[in-house]
């Protein structure tokens, strides 16, 4: 064997060994399993990191967290500060890398969040990695331990969860599924038929009561109906906590959402029932643990299928199922009032351009420009990102349309207040008399 052939063989063997050591480019589909080693692949184009390219093997000795997200995922974006703090806390033990599904919005959107929130997390913008790991729903988080073993795949990671994992415990984590797993799970249903009839969203005997109340499970689509949208003689809710069932049953029969130019009860009906109970544990819910989340379906004779009758029927069902005493009372409740100075009100008056809402990212999470719109649009957008907060009301007294540049992280109420202040607007805590659903212990 001449020297040239020997050299070729030697170089080939050397390259093969090096590829095995540094990892392979990702292609095909990863077979990632809990308790098994993660794939030996190379991560490319890493930004805000000491190296732009690393194999998963290079991270051995530290826990590695791969956090997948997209520009349209509000909960993903809201998790960034927590992940950033987690990275600082466990800098010697953990490496967190963000993986964003690449599109035309995500890079400028992330840069805004990175600067405003002082994020120090490495990030990769890629679509092939999403395909490689079969990720189609986010948030989706892969956790590998210091030996490269996959310890968890979840859509909701907390610092306590991570601490438990590193301590060798097995915390309850909300599971995240790949597209293949999701496709193999029967989760959808025909909304024009009663739930649980003929296997619609579950077995025929999964209900707790009938007309039908049964525990919600992840995979069943969550839908809130309004009484005006009932399907013929049938009313259904899926994936809702108990307080929402009471809000539907005892609230107004028009929507409680502050949608501009649509009749709603947002200004008059308080959206969250008041609990005056010795034990309110039935109203404590958790989607991750599938705790106290319900699906409810009622069917009445077609000739009786009015909004009023459906609501009264639902009230009777809740009384039978849970037995609480319920009253509608006029009460003063805490709220946020949007206010403005006289000078600012004049400046905000629209210049008369075409009505539109402009955002730098797909869902406007990093801020919006409102052009020639009523104040109700501002109220709706603030409410949209803070639905569990106090209600928001227009106390500006502004008549007509305005122009407003709300350059703010919409999931951060303090940031919204700061952005409003720049235009002479503010959110101040106040009180307002509203109709309130009050739930008390049963009268003996």
How far apart, in whole angstroms, are the C-alpha atoms of residue 313 and residue 309?
6
pLDDT at 206 over 90: no
pLDDT digits (tens, 9 = 90+) for 208-225: 647 889 999 988 988 877
Residue 15 lies in a domain: no
CATH code for the domain of 97? 3.40.30.10
The answer to whether 396 and 338 have CB atoms below 8 angstroms apart is yes
Could you say which of 259, 289, 323 is where a domain stops?
A: 323
- Which among 163, 438, 201 has a CA at the least distance from the CA of 326? 438
Beta bridge partners, 275, equal: 439
Name the band, by pLDDT with cuts 50, 70 and 90, for residue 334: very high
What pLDDT, on the 0 to 100 scale, is given for residue 185? Answer: 56
The answer to whether 436 and 268 have CB atoms below 8 angstroms apart is no
**Rounded to 5°, angle at Cα 28 from 22 and 31:** 80
Structure-token match 């392979």, residue found: 24
pLDDT digits (tens, 9 = 90+) for 285-304: 999 899 999 999 998 888 88
Q: Cβ of 105: how many Cβ atoms within 10 Å?
A: 18
- Which among 148, 114, 136, 115 has a CA at the least distance from the CA of 33? 148
Q: Which residues 6+ apart lie within 8 Å of 88 measured at CB?
A: 120
Could you say which of 323, 344, 362 is where a domain stops?
A: 323
Quote the DSSP letter at residue 291: B
**Rounded to 5°, angle at Cα 53 from 51 and 149:** 105
% of the chain surpassing 90 pLDDT: 67
Residue 131 lies in a domain: yes
Q: Which range (2-16, 45-59, 89-103) has the least confidence? A: 2-16
Domain that holds residue 378: 333-437
pLDDT at 17 over 70: no
pLDDT digits (tens, 9 = 90+) for 342-353: 999 999 999 999
Sign of CA pseudo-dihedral 410, 412, 417, 423? negative
Stretch 165-183: mean pLDDT: 83
How far apart, in whole angstroms, are the C-alpha atoms of residue 97 and residue 89?
15
Residue 14 lies in a domain: no
Mean pLDDT of the chain: 88
Name the band, by pLDDT with cuts 50, 70 and 90, for residue 247: very high
Q: Are residues 380 and 284 in the same domain?
A: no
Stretch 361-388: mean pLDDT: 92
- Which among 226, 225, 285 has a CA at the least distance from the CA of 252? 226
Q: Which range (25-34, 63-72, 362-371) has the least confidence? A: 25-34
pTM as predicted = 0.70
What pLDDT, on the 0 to 100 scale, is given for residue 219? Answer: 84
What pLDDT, on the 0 to 100 scale, is given for residue 151? Answer: 94
Q: Which residues 6+ apart lie within 8 Å of 115 measured at CB?
A: none
Residue 413 lies in a domain: yes
- The SS3 assignment for 327 reads strand
Q: Are residues 274 and 176 in the same domain?
A: no
Q: Is residue 14 within a helix (H) or strand (E), and if so which, with residue range? A: helix 3-22
Name the band, by pLDDT with cuts 50, 70 and 90, for residue 438: very high
Structure-token match 């690393």, residue found: 54
Give the N- to C-terminal CA distance of the chain in Å, as an integer. 100
Q: Are residues 222 and 280 in the same domain?
A: yes
Stretch 88-100: mean pLDDT: 96
Q: Are residues 391 and 362 in the same domain?
A: yes
């Amino acid at each position: 064997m001449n020297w040239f052939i020997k050299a070729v063989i030697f170089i080939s063997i050397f390259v093969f060994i090096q590829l095995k050591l540094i990892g392979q480019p990702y292609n095909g589909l990863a077979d990632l399993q809990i308790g098994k080693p993660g794939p030996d692949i190379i991560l490319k184009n890493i930004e805000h990191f000491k190296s732009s390219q690393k194999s998963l093997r290079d991270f051995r000795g530290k826990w590695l967290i791969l956090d997948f997200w997209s520009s349209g995922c509000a909960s993903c974006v809201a998790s960034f500060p927590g992940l950033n703090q987690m990275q600082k806390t466990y800098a010697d033990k953990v490496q967190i890398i963000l993986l964003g599904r690449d599109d035309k919005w995500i890079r400028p959107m992330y840069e805004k969040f990175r600067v405003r929130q002082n994020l120090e997390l490495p990030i990769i913008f890629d679509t092939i990695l999403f395909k490689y790991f079969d990720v189609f729903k986010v948030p989706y988080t892969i956790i590998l331990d210091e030996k490269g073993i996959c310890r968890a795949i979840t859509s909701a990671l907390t610092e306590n969860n991570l601490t438990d994992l590193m301590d060798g415990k097995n915390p309850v984590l909300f599971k995240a599924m790949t597209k293949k797993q999701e496709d193999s799970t029967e989760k959808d249903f025909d909304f024009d038929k009663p739930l649980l009839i003929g296997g619609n969203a579950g077995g025929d005997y999964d209900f707790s009561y009938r007309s039908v109340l049964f525990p919600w499970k992840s995979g069943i689509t969550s839908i809130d109906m309004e009484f005006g949208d009932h399907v013929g003689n049938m009313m259904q809710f899926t994936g809702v906590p108990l307080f929402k069932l009471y809000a539907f049953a005892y609230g107004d029969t028009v929507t409680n959402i502050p949608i501009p130019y649509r009749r709603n009860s947002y200004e008059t009906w308080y959206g969250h029932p008041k609990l005056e109970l010795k034990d309110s544990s039935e109203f404590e819910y958790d989607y991750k643990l599938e705790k106290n989340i319900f699906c409810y379906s009622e069917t009445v004779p077609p000739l009786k299928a009015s909004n009023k009758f459906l609501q009264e029927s639902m009230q009777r069902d809740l009384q039978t199922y849970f037995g609480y005493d319920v009253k509608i009372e006029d009460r003063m409740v805490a709220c946020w009032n949007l206010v403005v100075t006289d000078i600012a009100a004049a400046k905000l008056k629209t210049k008369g351009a075409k009505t539109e809402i402009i955002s730098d990212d797909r869902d406007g999470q990093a801020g919006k420009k409102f052009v020639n719109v009523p104040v109700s649009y501002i109220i709706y957008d603030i409410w949209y990102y803070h639905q569990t907060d106090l209600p928001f009301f227009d106390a500006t007294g502004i008549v007509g349309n305005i122009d407003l540049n709300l350059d703010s992280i919409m999931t951060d109420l303090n940031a919204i207040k700061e952005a409003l202040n720049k235009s002479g607007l503010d959110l101040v805590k106040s009180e307002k008399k509203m109709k309130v659903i009050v739930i008390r212990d049963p009268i003996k």
